[in-house]
């Protein structure tokens, strides 16, 4: 029998599958690398694992945080203090102070 996952409607947050289940060190490492804009391939190379394993780690992390995607998961992790703001690298143009104001 096939199992189907209902994707949450826009604006509707996913409920955590196991709200008391802790995020593992490896899941948090993958999420920190994702929060810095890295692809699953780059994360996999950095962690010494396959891109499929990266995707699995991140998906489990999304469920634990009740997040819809990697951006949402990263935002939640930062808000909860799981990823410190200092762990997020700025693009070179911002770090060098050469970014143009857009607002």
Cβ neighbours of 34 (radius 10 Å): 24
Q: Could you tell me the pTM of the whole model?
A: 0.72
pLDDT tens profile 59-81 = 999 999 999 999 999 999 999 99
- Closest by Cα among 18, 14, 17, 42 to 30: 42
Are 27 and 61 spatial neighbours (Cβ–Cβ below 8 Å)? yes
pLDDT band for 14, please (50, 70, 90 cuts).
low
d(C-alpha 41, C-alpha 51), whole Å: 5
């Amino acid at each position: 029998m096939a199992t189907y996952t209902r994707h949450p409607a826009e604006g509707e947050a996913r409920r955590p599958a196991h709200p008391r289940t802790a995020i593992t060190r490896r899941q948090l490492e993958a999420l920190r690398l994702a929060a810095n804009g890295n692809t699953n391939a780059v994360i996999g190379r950095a962690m010494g694992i396959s891109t499929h394993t990266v995707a699995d780690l991140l998906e489990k992390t999304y469920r634990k945080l009740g997040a819809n995607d990697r951006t949402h998961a990263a935002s939640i992790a930062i808000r909860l203090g799981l990823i410190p703001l200092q762990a997020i690298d700025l693009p070179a143009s911002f770090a060098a102070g050469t970014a143009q104001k857009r607002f």
